[in-house]
Chains A and B, each alone.
Chain A
Amino acid sequence: MAKNKVLLEVKGLRVAVAGNEILKGVDLTMRDGEVHAIMGPNGSGKSTLAQVLAGHPAYEVLAGSATYDGKDLLDLKPEERARAGVFLAFQYPVEIRGITNSYFLRSALNALRREWGEPELDPIDFLQFLEAKLKAIGWDDSMMNRPVNEGFSGGEKKRNEILQLAVLEPRLAILDETDSGLDIDALKTVAETVNKLRAPDRSFLIVTHYQRLLNYITPDVVHVLADGRIVKSGGPELAHELEAKGYDWLRDAAMVS
C-alpha cells in the first residue's frame, strides 16, 4: 500500500530553554492523516517538543531541523506556522481580558482566511459559521461571549482549545496534554470531538502523560520520549505496555544508549 505524503519530518532536533538542553536529538516522521502519540515521564521534554514546533520564542533550537509540508518550519514565525496549518492546543490556555471568545476566534480565523485568499467573515457570517461548527461537534455556544478563558474551569479551557481546533481546521494539530486535569466525562467529550475531526488531510500529534486518552483516540504510532530523545516507537499496543510497566525500564534504556 502506498504511504501517504510526509507532512512533518523532524531530524536531530536539539532544544534548550534558559540554557538547559531539554531535547537532545529528536527524530520524528509524520504523514498526512496520521495520529501520533508522544508519551513519557515528567521532564522528558514532551511539552518542549510541542511548544517548539508551534514556535514559542523562549525555546532555543541548538541543532537539527523540522520540515513541514516542504517548508523549514523552524524558520517561520508562530503566526506563519499557524497560517500554514500548524495548531497547538495549549496545556495551560491563556486568559485574555476584555476579548470575547467569539471575537478572538473570528480574528484568528480571518488571519488564516487572508492567508488562504478567502474573504474575511463579518460578525454575522462568522456567527453562522460558528453555529454550524458547534452543531457538528455537538456543543452549545455558552462560552462564546465570555472573555477568552477568563473564569473558565479547567475542563472548559481544554474544550475551548478543541473548539479552536475545529474552527481553524489545521493540517497538523498538536495536543499538549489536553487530557491532564480532565475528569473522565470531559476526557470522553474531548476525545469524541477529536475523533470527529480526524481526516485524511489532518494529522494529530498527541502529547500525553497518561495512557487513558488513547483508550478513546486510537493512534497510528506511539512514541516514548525519555530524557530528550525518542527511545521507542511502536503501535497502539505500546501505550498499554507503558501503562502496565511504567516508564522506568525505558528511562534506564535511554541512559545506557
Chain B
Amino acid sequence: MAHVEKLVGSYRAWASNGASAAPEWLRDLREGGIARFHDLGFPNMKQEAWRFTSVAPIAEGSFELAKPPARVPTLEQLRPFLLFEAGYRLVFVDGFFQASLSTPCFDDIQSLAHVATHRQDLVRQYLGKYAATQDRPFSALNTAFVRDGAFVHVPAKATIAEPIQLLCLSTGDKQAVTHPRNLVVIEREARASIVETYASLGEGPYWTNSVTEIVVGDAARVDYHRVQREHARSYHVAATQTHQGRDSTVNVHTVAFGAALARHDIGAVMAGPGGTLILNGLYLLDGAQHADHHTTIDHAAHHCQSHEYFNGVLDGKSRGVFTGRIIVRPGAQKTDSKQTNNNLLLSPDAHADSQPQLEIYADDVKCTHGSTVGPLDPRALFYLRSRGVGEHEARRLLTYGFAAEILGRMEVAALRAQLDAIVRGRLAEQ
C-alpha cells in the first residue's frame, strides 16, 4: 500500500507542477485515472485475472517517473529497431517525443502531446473512451500520467500504404517508469498499417506501462503490429484496446520477446455487424522470463468473425500465460469465433498456463477453441529425421515452425524479415 501512496504522491507533485498547463478536460481525465488507481491498488494473485502473475517486482520496485533523456540517441542507434527509414515515423525516448528522429504528418501522425492542444476536440472525443480503467489498475495509472505518445488519425477513405512506425525506446535508466499513451483513429473506409515497437538501449531495470487505443470506423481496416523486445531485466505492462465499426477489419499481431515480466491485455470490441478480427500472437521466452497475455474479444454485434492464434515457445525456466476470453453478447447471432493457443515447452522447467473463457449468450453461433501444452511432437521429429535432417536441426526446424506460423500471417514483409531474424538468432543460441 505504501507503494501505491508513493505513486499517488508522485502524481500529485507532477500534476501541480509539470502537468498543470494541460487543458481542463485532460486534467480531469488524469484525476479520474489516479483516483481509480488509488482505489484499486496493485493487483494480487487472488484476483482471477492475475492468478498466474505476480506484479510484486513492479509494486515494490520504487519506480520514478522518467525524465527527458539527457542525450538524444542517434538515428544509427535506432536503426536496429526500424524497418525502413522511409515513411511516417514517430519516435519517443523515455516517453518524450523526439522531433529530430521523427517524420510526422501534419496533425494526423503526430505526438499526442502536440495534438492534445492543437486538435483538442478530436483527441477529447476518443482519448480514454475505450481502454477500460474500471478494474484495470495499470491502465488507470497510465491514464493518470497521460502526457505523450503516438497519435495516428487517418481521415475517411484515405489509405496510408506504407506502415507507420511508432518506436518507444527506453534509455534504460534505473528505476524509471514511462507511461506511453497511444491513440489511433481510423475513420470510415480508411486504411492503415502500424508497427509499434518497444525496445531499450540499456538494461534498467526500468518499467514501461503503455496503453494503446485503436478506433476503427465502418468498413475501415487497420493492420496493427506490436513488437515487444524490451531488455530482459525490464518490466512491461500494456493494454491494447480496439473498437471496430460495421464491416471493418482489424488485424492485431503481437510478438513478445523481451522483459523479465510482461503482461499484455488485449481487448477487442466488435461493435458493428460484419466485422472481421484477427488476433495473432507469439511469445518466445527463455531464462526466468514471464509473459502473460490476457485477451478479451467482445462480440457485441451479429455476423462478426474473430480468429485468434497465439503460440508460445518456452525455454529455460520461463513461464507463459494465455487467457482467451470470448464474449458473445445476446443478439450477436452468426458469430464465428475460433481460438487456438499452442505452447511448446523446450525445457522440463518451462511452464505454460492456457485458459479459454467462453461466455456465449446467443444461440446461433460457432465458437471453437483449442489449446496445447507440450514438448516437440516426437512423430514430427521422426518424420524429419527419416528425411535426412539431423536431430538437432530437426528440433530447431520444428521450433522455428511454431514461431513462423504466427509471423507468416503478417503482411509487412520487412517486419516479417526483422522478426524472423530475431527468432532465428534466439534459436541458434540453443
Binding site for B on A (CB under 8 A): 54-57, 77-79, 81-83, 87-88, 90, 93-99, 104, 107-108, 111-112, 115, 147, 164, 168
Chain B residues contacting A79 (CB-CB under 8 Å) are 385-391, 394
How many angstroms from the CA of A183 to the CA of B394 in the assembled complex?
33
Interchain CB contact under 8 A, B388 and A94: no
Q: A99-B397, A99-B404, A147-B401 are in contact. Are A94 and B390 (CB under 8 A)?
A: no
Chain B residues contacting A168 (CB-CB under 8 Å) are 387-388
Residue from A90, A97, A104 with most neighbouring chain B CB atoms (10 Å): A97
> In the complex, what's the smallest C-beta–C-beta distance from A58 to chain B, in angstroms?
8
- Nearest chain-A residue to B407 (Cβ)? A98
A–B pairs, 8, beta carbons within 8 Å: A81-B386, A87-B387, A88-B386, A94-B379, A96-B398, A97-B401, A107-B389, A168-B388
Interchain CB contact under 8 A, A57 and B388: no
Indicate which residue in B378, B391, B401 contacts A96 across the interface (CB closer than 8 Å): B401
Interchain CB contact under 8 A, A111 and B387: yes
Indicate which residue in B378, B390, B394, B402 contacts A97 across the interface (CB closer than 8 Å): B402
Residue from A82, A88, A96, A111 with most neighbouring chain B CB atoms (10 Å): A96
How many angstroms from the CA of A82 to the CA of B380 in the assembled complex?
15
How many angstroms from the CA of A57 to the CA of B383 in the assembled complex?
11
Interchain CB contact under 8 A, B387 and A82: yes
Indicate which residue in A56, A57, A94, A107 contacts B377 across the interface (CB closer than 8 Å): A94
Indicate which residue in A78, A90, A99 contacts B385 across the interface (CB closer than 8 Å): A78
Interchain CB contact under 8 A, A98 and B383: no
Q: How many residues of B contact A (CB 8 A)?
A: 27
Chain B residues contacting A54 (CB-CB under 8 Å) are 386
Q: Which of B289-340 contact A (CB under 8 A)?
A: none
B408 within 8 A of A: yes
Interchain CB contact under 8 A, A93 and B402: no
Chain A residues contacting B408 (CB-CB under 8 Å) are 98
- Nearest chain-B residue to A167 (Cβ)? B387
Interchain CB contact under 8 A, A98 and B400: yes
Interchain CB contact under 8 A, A108 and B382: no
The 3 closest A-B pairs by CB, nearest first: A98-B401, A98-B405, A82-B388
- Nearest chain-B residue to A81 (Cβ)? B386
How many angstroms from the CA of A88 to the CA of B384 in the assembled complex?
11
Indicate which residue in A95, A97, A164 contacts B387 across the interface (CB closer than 8 Å): A164
How many angstroms from the CA of A111 to the CA of B408 in the assembled complex?
24
Interchain CB contact under 8 A, B389 and A94: no
Q: Which of B332-385 contact A (CB under 8 A)?
A: 342, 377-380, 382-385
Residue from B342, B378, B387, B405 with most neighbouring chain A CB atoms (10 Å): B387
How many angstroms from the CA of A195 to the CA of B400 in the assembled complex?
36
Residue from B378, B380, B403 with most neighbouring chain A CB atoms (10 Å): B380
> In the complex, what's the smallest C-beta–C-beta distance from B32 to chain A, in angstroms?
44
B85 within 8 A of A: no
Q: A94-B377, A99-B400, A111-B393 are in contact. Are A78 and B405 (CB under 8 A)?
A: no
> In the complex, what's the smallest C-beta–C-beta distance from B413 to chain A, in angstroms?
15
Q: A94-B377, A94-B379 are in contact. Are A108 and B398 (CB under 8 A)?
A: no
- Nearest chain-A residue to B342 (Cβ)? A97
> In the complex, what's the smallest C-beta–C-beta distance from B35 to chain A, in angstroms?
46
- Nearest chain-A residue to B401 (Cβ)? A98
Chain B residues contacting A108 (CB-CB under 8 Å) are 384, 387-389
Chain A residues contacting B402 (CB-CB under 8 Å) are 97-98
Chain B residues contacting A147 (CB-CB under 8 Å) are 401, 405
Interchain CB contact under 8 A, A94 and B383: yes
Contact mask for chain B residues 385-425; partner A; CB cutoff 8 A; 1 contact, 0 none: 11111110110011011111110100000000000000000
Q: A99-B397, A107-B397 are in contact. Are A83 and B386 (CB under 8 A)?
A: no
Interchain CB contact under 8 A, A94 and B380: yes
> In the complex, what's the smallest C-beta–C-beta distance from B374 to chain A, in angstroms?
13
Chain A residues contacting B401 (CB-CB under 8 Å) are 96-99, 147
Interchain CB contact under 8 A, B385 and A82: yes
How many angstroms from the CA of A90 to the CA of B403 in the assembled complex?
26
**With A79-B386, A79-B387, A112-B388 already in contact, 14 other A-B pairs whose C-beta atoms are closer than 8 Å:** A54-B386, A77-B391, A78-B386, A79-B390, A79-B391, A94-B377, A95-B380, A96-B383, A98-B403, A99-B401, A104-B384, A107-B387, A111-B390, A164-B387
Interchain CB contact under 8 A, A111 and B383: no
Residue from A88, A90, A99 with most neighbouring chain B CB atoms (10 Å): A99
> In the complex, what's the smallest C-beta–C-beta distance from B373 to chain A, in angstroms?
15
Interchain CB contact under 8 A, A82 and B393: no
- Nearest chain-A residue to B380 (Cβ)? A94
How many angstroms from the CA of A96 to the CA of B395 in the assembled complex?
12
Chain A residues contacting B393 (CB-CB under 8 Å) are 107, 111
Chain A residues contacting B403 (CB-CB under 8 Å) are 98
Interchain CB contact under 8 A, A115 and B404: no
- Nearest chain-A residue to B379 (Cβ)? A94
Chain A residues contacting B378 (CB-CB under 8 Å) are 57
Interchain CB contact under 8 A, A111 and B386: no
How many angstroms from the CA of A90 to the CA of B386 in the assembled complex?
10
How many angstroms from the CA of A97 to the CA of B377 in the assembled complex?
11
How many angstroms from the CA of A107 to the CA of B393 in the assembled complex?
9
How many angstroms from the CA of A83 to the CA of B394 in the assembled complex?
14
Interchain CB contact under 8 A, B400 and A93: no
Q: A107-B397, A147-B401, A147-B405 are in contact. Are A96 and B389 (CB under 8 A)?
A: no
> In the complex, what's the smallest C-beta–C-beta distance from A144 to chain B, in angstroms?
14
How many angstroms from the CA of A96 to the CA of B398 in the assembled complex?
7
> In the complex, what's the smallest C-beta–C-beta distance from B36 to chain A, in angstroms?
41
How many angstroms from the CA of A97 to the CA of B407 in the assembled complex?
12
> In the complex, what's the smallest C-beta–C-beta distance from A222 to chain B, in angstroms?
25
Interchain CB contact under 8 A, B389 and A111: yes
Q: A96-B398, A98-B401 are in contact. Are A56 and B382 (CB under 8 A)?
A: yes
Chain B residues contacting A107 (CB-CB under 8 Å) are 384, 387, 389, 393, 397
Interchain CB contact under 8 A, B388 and A93: no
